[in-house]
Protein backbone atom coordinates (compact mmCIF):
# COMPACT_ATOMS: atom_id res chain seq x y z
CA UNK A 1 0.00 0.00 0.00
CA UNK A 2 1.35 3.44 -0.94
CA UNK A 3 2.46 5.55 2.01
CA UNK A 4 0.67 8.48 0.36
CA UNK A 5 -2.59 6.56 0.48
CA UNK A 6 -2.05 5.09 3.95
CA UNK A 7 -3.46 8.14 5.80
CA UNK A 8 -6.62 7.78 3.76
CA UNK A 9 -6.95 4.16 4.90
CA UNK A 10 -6.46 5.22 8.50
CA UNK A 11 -8.93 8.03 8.16
CA UNK A 12 -11.48 5.67 6.68
CA UNK A 13 -11.05 3.53 9.77
CA UNK A 14 -11.87 6.58 11.93
CA UNK A 15 -8.32 6.86 13.25
CA UNK A 16 -7.11 10.20 11.76
CA UNK A 17 -8.46 13.67 10.52
CA UNK A 18 -7.84 17.17 8.83
CA UNK A 19 -8.62 19.82 6.14
CA UNK A 20 -6.76 20.23 2.79
CA UNK A 21 -6.60 22.08 -0.45
CA UNK A 22 -7.11 20.28 -3.73
CA UNK A 23 -4.22 19.67 -6.14
CA UNK A 24 -3.31 22.16 -8.81
CA UNK A 25 -5.65 22.54 -11.74
CA UNK A 26 -5.05 20.43 -14.82
CA UNK A 27 -3.43 21.96 -17.87
CA UNK A 28 -4.71 19.87 -20.72
CA UNK A 29 -2.64 21.68 -23.37
CA UNK A 30 0.69 20.91 -21.71
CA UNK A 31 2.77 18.08 -23.10
CA UNK A 32 3.54 15.08 -20.92
CA UNK A 33 6.83 13.19 -20.83
CA UNK A 34 6.78 9.47 -20.03
CA UNK A 35 9.03 8.37 -17.15
CA UNK A 36 10.27 4.90 -16.31
CA UNK A 37 9.97 3.62 -12.75
CA UNK A 38 13.62 4.50 -12.12
CA UNK A 39 13.22 7.97 -13.62
CA UNK A 40 10.06 8.59 -11.57
CA UNK A 41 11.83 7.52 -8.36
CA UNK A 42 14.81 9.78 -9.08
CA UNK A 43 12.59 12.76 -9.92
CA UNK A 44 10.45 12.37 -6.80
CA UNK A 45 13.52 11.86 -4.61
CA UNK A 46 14.82 15.22 -5.84
CA UNK A 47 11.49 16.85 -5.03
CA UNK A 48 11.65 15.23 -1.60
CA UNK A 49 15.08 16.73 -0.95
CA UNK A 50 13.92 20.23 -1.94
CA UNK A 51 10.71 19.85 0.11
CA UNK A 52 12.65 18.71 3.18
CA UNK A 53 14.79 21.84 3.00
CA UNK A 54 11.66 23.99 2.70
CA UNK A 55 10.13 22.19 5.71
CA UNK A 56 13.15 22.64 7.97
CA UNK A 57 11.49 25.38 10.03
CA UNK A 58 7.96 23.99 9.93
CA UNK A 59 5.22 22.66 7.71
CA UNK A 60 1.56 21.73 7.63
CA UNK A 61 -0.30 18.98 5.78
CA UNK A 62 -4.05 19.07 5.32
CA UNK A 63 -6.15 16.17 4.04
CA UNK A 64 -9.70 15.64 2.91
CA UNK A 65 -11.17 12.21 2.24
CA UNK A 66 -14.46 11.15 0.69
CA UNK A 67 -15.80 7.82 -0.51
CA UNK A 68 -18.92 5.76 0.03
CA UNK A 69 -20.22 6.40 3.54
CA UNK A 70 -16.84 7.69 4.72
CA UNK A 71 -15.85 11.34 4.84
CA UNK A 72 -13.37 13.15 6.99
CA UNK A 73 -10.53 15.59 7.24
CA UNK A 74 -7.15 15.83 8.92
CA UNK A 75 -4.71 18.58 9.79
CA UNK A 76 -1.11 17.77 10.67
CA UNK A 77 1.25 20.52 11.85
CA UNK A 78 4.96 20.12 12.59
CA UNK A 79 7.16 22.50 14.57
CA UNK A 80 10.70 21.09 14.19
CA UNK A 81 12.23 23.85 16.32
CA UNK A 82 10.11 22.99 19.38
CA UNK A 83 10.10 19.29 18.37
CA UNK A 84 6.31 19.21 18.62
CA UNK A 85 3.63 18.11 16.16
CA UNK A 86 -0.15 18.34 16.27
CA UNK A 87 -2.89 16.50 14.43
CA UNK A 88 -6.62 16.85 14.38
CA UNK A 89 -9.00 14.34 12.81
CA UNK A 90 -12.69 14.80 12.14
CA UNK A 91 -14.67 11.76 11.00
CA UNK A 92 -18.45 11.42 11.01
CA UNK A 93 -18.88 14.05 13.72
CA UNK A 94 -16.14 12.61 15.95
CA UNK A 95 -13.01 14.64 16.65
CA UNK A 96 -9.63 13.30 17.73
CA UNK A 97 -6.65 15.58 18.32
CA UNK A 98 -3.20 15.07 19.77
CA UNK A 99 0.13 16.78 20.43
CA UNK A 100 3.24 14.65 20.01
CA UNK A 101 6.36 15.89 21.78
CA UNK A 102 9.36 14.12 20.26
CA UNK A 103 11.26 12.06 22.80
CA UNK A 104 8.81 13.01 25.55
CA UNK A 105 5.30 11.75 25.00
CA UNK A 106 1.77 12.28 23.74
CA UNK A 107 -0.97 14.73 24.78
CA UNK A 108 -4.42 13.41 23.80
CA UNK A 109 -7.49 15.63 23.74
CA UNK A 110 -10.24 14.35 26.04
CA UNK A 111 -13.64 14.86 24.45
CA UNK A 112 -15.32 11.50 25.12
CA UNK A 113 -18.16 11.38 27.68
CA UNK A 114 -16.40 8.87 29.95
CA UNK A 115 -13.29 11.02 30.33
CA UNK A 116 -15.32 14.18 30.83
CA UNK A 117 -17.47 12.50 33.50
CA UNK A 118 -14.38 11.11 35.23
CA UNK A 119 -12.66 14.51 35.32
CA UNK A 120 -15.83 16.06 36.74
CA UNK A 121 -15.84 13.42 39.47
CA UNK A 122 -12.16 14.13 40.19
CA UNK A 123 -12.86 17.84 40.54
CA UNK A 124 -10.77 18.72 37.48
CA UNK A 125 -13.26 19.89 34.84
CA UNK A 126 -10.68 22.31 33.36
CA UNK A 127 -8.48 19.45 32.17
CA UNK A 128 -8.58 18.93 28.41
CA UNK A 129 -5.61 16.62 27.70
CA UNK A 130 -4.08 13.44 29.08
CA UNK A 131 -0.32 12.96 28.88
CA UNK A 132 1.45 9.64 28.36
CA UNK A 133 5.24 9.61 28.53
CA UNK A 134 6.83 7.88 25.55
CA UNK A 135 10.42 8.53 24.51
CA UNK A 136 9.89 6.75 21.18
CA UNK A 137 7.49 9.43 19.90
CA UNK A 138 8.53 11.09 16.64
CA UNK A 139 7.16 14.16 14.90
CA UNK A 140 6.40 12.29 11.69
CA UNK A 141 4.40 9.49 13.29
CA UNK A 142 1.82 9.36 10.51
CA UNK A 143 4.32 9.23 7.63
CA UNK A 144 2.94 12.38 6.05
CA UNK A 145 6.19 14.33 5.62
CA UNK A 146 6.88 15.26 1.99
CA UNK A 147 10.10 13.26 1.98
CA UNK A 148 8.38 10.15 3.38
CA UNK A 149 5.64 10.35 0.77
CA UNK A 150 7.97 11.00 -2.15
CA UNK A 151 10.44 8.20 -1.38
CA UNK A 152 7.85 5.49 -0.72
CA UNK A 153 8.79 2.31 -2.58
CA UNK A 154 5.16 1.75 -3.57
CA UNK A 155 5.11 4.79 -5.86
CA UNK A 156 8.24 3.82 -7.74
CA UNK A 157 6.16 3.17 -10.82
CA UNK A 158 6.33 4.36 -14.41
CA UNK A 159 4.21 7.41 -15.16
CA UNK A 160 4.26 10.85 -16.71
CA UNK A 161 5.64 14.30 -15.93
CA UNK A 162 3.73 17.33 -17.18
CA UNK A 163 5.45 20.72 -16.98
CA UNK A 164 3.24 23.82 -17.06
CA UNK A 165 3.91 27.33 -18.32
CA UNK A 166 4.46 28.67 -14.81
CA UNK A 167 7.21 26.14 -14.14
CA UNK A 168 5.11 23.87 -11.94
CA UNK A 169 4.76 20.19 -12.76
CA UNK A 170 2.43 17.24 -12.24
CA UNK A 171 3.68 13.69 -11.76
CA UNK A 172 1.07 11.01 -12.46
CA UNK A 173 1.32 7.27 -11.83
CA UNK A 174 -0.67 4.20 -10.78
CA UNK A 175 0.79 2.20 -7.89
CA UNK A 176 0.72 -1.56 -7.31
CA UNK A 177 -2.69 -1.32 -5.62
CA UNK A 178 -4.18 0.31 -8.74
CA UNK A 179 -4.31 3.61 -6.88
CA UNK A 180 -4.04 6.67 -9.14
CA UNK A 181 -1.65 9.29 -7.75
CA UNK A 182 -1.13 12.85 -8.96
CA UNK A 183 1.61 14.92 -7.31
CA UNK A 184 1.76 18.68 -7.94
CA UNK A 185 5.17 20.34 -7.60
CA UNK A 186 5.59 24.13 -7.41
CA UNK A 187 8.07 26.02 -9.61
CA UNK A 188 10.43 26.09 -6.61
CA UNK A 189 10.55 22.30 -6.73
CA UNK A 190 8.56 21.54 -3.56
CA UNK A 191 5.56 19.23 -3.25
CA UNK A 192 2.47 21.37 -2.72
CA UNK A 193 -0.47 19.04 -3.26
CA UNK A 194 -1.58 15.59 -4.29
CA UNK A 195 -4.64 13.65 -5.24
CA UNK A 196 -5.07 9.93 -4.59
CA UNK A 197 -7.97 7.94 -6.04
CA UNK A 198 -8.59 4.23 -5.54
CA UNK A 199 -10.59 1.54 -3.77
CA UNK A 200 -13.66 3.77 -3.79
CA UNK A 201 -11.88 6.58 -1.90
CA UNK A 202 -10.79 10.03 -3.05
CA UNK A 203 -8.15 11.87 -1.02
CA UNK A 204 -6.70 15.34 -1.52
CA UNK A 205 -3.54 16.43 0.27
CA UNK A 206 -1.81 19.83 0.45
CA UNK A 207 1.39 21.14 2.03
CA UNK A 208 2.29 24.56 3.40
CA UNK A 209 5.90 25.40 4.27
CA UNK A 210 6.51 28.01 6.95
CA UNK A 211 7.59 28.27 10.58
CA UNK A 212 5.03 26.81 12.99
CA UNK A 213 4.72 27.81 16.64
CA UNK A 214 3.06 25.04 18.62
CA UNK A 215 2.55 25.32 22.37
CA UNK A 216 1.94 22.22 24.44
CA UNK A 217 -1.07 22.13 26.80
CA UNK A 218 -0.44 23.70 30.20
CA UNK A 219 -0.15 21.73 33.42
CA UNK A 220 -3.50 23.13 34.55
CA UNK A 221 -5.24 21.57 31.54
CA UNK A 222 -3.34 18.26 31.59
CA UNK A 223 -3.62 15.05 33.58
CA UNK A 224 -1.35 12.02 33.39
CA UNK A 225 -2.79 9.03 31.57
CA UNK A 226 -2.16 6.92 34.68
CA UNK A 227 -4.07 9.32 36.94
CA UNK A 228 -6.98 9.44 34.51
CA UNK A 229 -7.05 5.63 34.36
CA UNK A 230 -7.18 5.52 38.17
CA UNK A 231 -10.06 7.98 38.14
CA UNK A 232 -11.95 5.89 35.61
CA UNK A 233 -11.45 2.83 37.82
CA UNK A 234 -12.96 4.61 40.82
CA UNK A 235 -15.77 5.89 38.61
CA UNK A 236 -16.73 2.22 38.13
CA UNK A 237 -16.05 1.34 41.76
CA UNK A 238 -19.58 0.19 42.74
CA UNK A 239 -19.71 -2.35 39.93
CA UNK A 240 -16.20 -3.62 40.67
CA UNK A 241 -16.86 -4.14 44.39
CA UNK A 242 -20.09 -5.96 43.63
CA UNK A 243 -18.33 -8.14 41.07
CA UNK A 244 -15.53 -9.23 43.37
CA UNK A 245 -18.02 -9.96 46.19
CA UNK A 246 -20.08 -12.27 44.00
CA UNK A 247 -16.94 -13.81 42.49
CA UNK A 248 -15.73 -14.67 45.99
CA UNK A 249 -19.06 -16.25 46.84
CA UNK A 250 -19.03 -18.39 43.69
CA UNK A 251 -15.41 -19.47 44.22
CA UNK A 252 -16.12 -20.36 47.85
CA UNK A 253 -19.17 -22.48 47.00
CA UNK A 254 -17.20 -24.26 44.30
CA UNK A 255 -14.36 -25.01 46.73
CA UNK A 256 -16.80 -26.42 49.31
CA UNK A 257 -18.20 -28.80 46.69
CA UNK A 258 -21.57 -29.11 48.45
CA UNK A 259 -20.10 -29.50 51.94
CA UNK A 260 -20.28 -27.11 54.89
CA UNK A 261 -18.46 -23.88 54.05
CA UNK A 262 -15.58 -23.08 56.39
CA UNK A 263 -15.08 -19.47 57.41
CA UNK A 264 -11.32 -19.88 57.07
CA UNK A 265 -11.75 -21.05 53.48
CA UNK A 266 -14.03 -18.12 52.66
CA UNK A 267 -11.52 -15.64 54.07
CA UNK A 268 -8.62 -17.19 52.19
CA UNK A 269 -10.51 -17.16 48.89
CA UNK A 270 -11.75 -13.59 49.44
CA UNK A 271 -8.21 -12.29 49.95
CA UNK A 272 -6.98 -14.14 46.88
CA UNK A 273 -9.84 -12.85 44.71
CA UNK A 274 -9.49 -9.26 45.93
CA UNK A 275 -5.73 -9.38 45.35
CA UNK A 276 -6.17 -10.66 41.80
CA UNK A 277 -8.89 -8.11 41.12
CA UNK A 278 -6.75 -5.19 42.30
CA UNK A 279 -3.86 -6.43 40.19
CA UNK A 280 -6.07 -6.57 37.12
CA UNK A 281 -7.35 -3.06 37.84
CA UNK A 282 -3.79 -1.83 38.47
CA UNK A 283 -5.19 0.02 41.47
CA UNK A 284 -5.25 -1.17 45.09
CA UNK A 285 -8.84 -0.06 45.37
CA UNK A 286 -10.72 -2.91 47.03
CA UNK A 287 -10.02 -3.88 50.63
CA UNK A 288 -11.01 -7.00 52.55
CA UNK A 289 -11.45 -7.40 56.32
CA UNK A 290 -12.83 -10.02 58.67
CA UNK A 291 -16.33 -9.86 60.13
CA UNK A 292 -18.25 -12.41 62.16
CA UNK A 293 -18.74 -15.49 60.01
CA UNK A 294 -16.87 -14.14 56.98
CA UNK A 295 -15.45 -11.02 55.37
CA UNK A 296 -16.28 -7.49 54.30
CA UNK A 297 -15.07 -6.23 50.93
CA UNK A 298 -15.19 -2.50 50.37
CA UNK A 299 -13.74 0.50 48.55
CA UNK A 300 -13.86 4.24 49.15
CA UNK A 301 -13.70 6.81 46.36
CA UNK A 302 -10.96 9.32 47.34
CA UNK A 303 -12.70 12.14 45.46
CA UNK A 304 -16.36 11.65 46.40
CA UNK A 305 -15.56 9.86 49.70
CA UNK A 306 -18.36 7.44 48.95
CA UNK A 307 -17.91 3.90 50.27
CA UNK A 308 -19.38 0.76 48.73
CA UNK A 309 -19.24 -2.44 50.82
CA UNK A 310 -20.53 -6.01 50.83
CA UNK A 311 -20.36 -8.70 53.50
CA UNK A 312 -19.82 -12.31 52.51
CA UNK A 313 -20.68 -14.80 55.23
CA UNK A 314 -21.19 -18.53 55.63
CA UNK A 315 -24.32 -20.38 56.69
CA UNK A 316 -23.90 -24.13 56.54
CA UNK A 317 -23.42 -24.99 52.87
CA UNK A 318 -24.48 -21.50 51.81
CA UNK A 319 -22.53 -18.32 51.14
CA UNK A 320 -24.51 -15.12 51.69
CA UNK A 321 -23.66 -11.80 50.03
CA UNK A 322 -25.21 -8.60 51.42
CA UNK A 323 -24.68 -5.01 50.42
CA UNK A 324 -23.96 -2.80 53.43
User: For the segment 265-309, what is each residue's pLDDT rounded down to a tens digit?
Assistant: 999 999 999 999 999 999 999 999 999 999 999 999 999 999 999
Are residue 110 and residue 254 in the same domain, yes or no? Answer: no
The SS3 call for residue 175 is coil
Are residue 136 and residue 184 in the same domain, yes or no? Answer: yes
Are residue 262 and residue 310 in the same domain, yes or no? Answer: yes
Are residue 169 and residue 212 in the same domain, yes or no? Answer: yes
Are residue 255 and residue 106 in the same domain, yes or no? Answer: no
> Which residue range is the domain that position 269 belongs to?
236-323
The SS3 call for residue 308 is strand
CA distances from 260 to 156, 244, 266, 270, 321 (A): 75, 22, 11, 17, 16
Q: Model confidence at 148, in pLDDT bands (50, 70, 90)?
A: confident
Are residue 138 and residue 240 in the same domain, yes or no? Answer: no
Are residue 288 and residue 205 in the same domain, yes or no? Answer: no
Are residue 106 and residue 144 in the same domain, yes or no? Answer: yes
Are residue 42 and residue 70 in the same domain, yes or no? Answer: yes
Q: Model confidence at 131, in pLDDT bands (50, 70, 90)?
A: very high
Are residue 202 and residue 270 in the same domain, yes or no? Answer: no
Report yes or no on 1 lying in a domain. Answer: no
Report yes or no on 230 lying in a domain. Answer: no
Are residue 169 and residue 273 in the same domain, yes or no? Answer: no
Measured distance CA(58)–CA(207) in Å, rounded: 11
Are residue 137 and residue 180 in the same domain, yes or no? Answer: yes
Nearest to 110 by CA among 13, 232, 205, 24: 232
Measured distance CA(160)–CA(172) in Å, rounded: 5
Task: Work out how many domains the chain is built from and give that number.
Answer: 2
Amino acid sequence: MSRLYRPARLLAASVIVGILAAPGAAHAADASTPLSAAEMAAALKAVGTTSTTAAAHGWQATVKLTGGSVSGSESFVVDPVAKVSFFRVHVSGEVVSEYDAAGRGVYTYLSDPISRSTLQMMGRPAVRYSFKADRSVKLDAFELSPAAVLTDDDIRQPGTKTVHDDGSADYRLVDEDSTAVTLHVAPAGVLTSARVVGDGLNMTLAYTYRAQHLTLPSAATTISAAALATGETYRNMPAFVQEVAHETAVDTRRAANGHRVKVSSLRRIARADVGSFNTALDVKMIKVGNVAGGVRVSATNPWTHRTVAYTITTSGTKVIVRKK
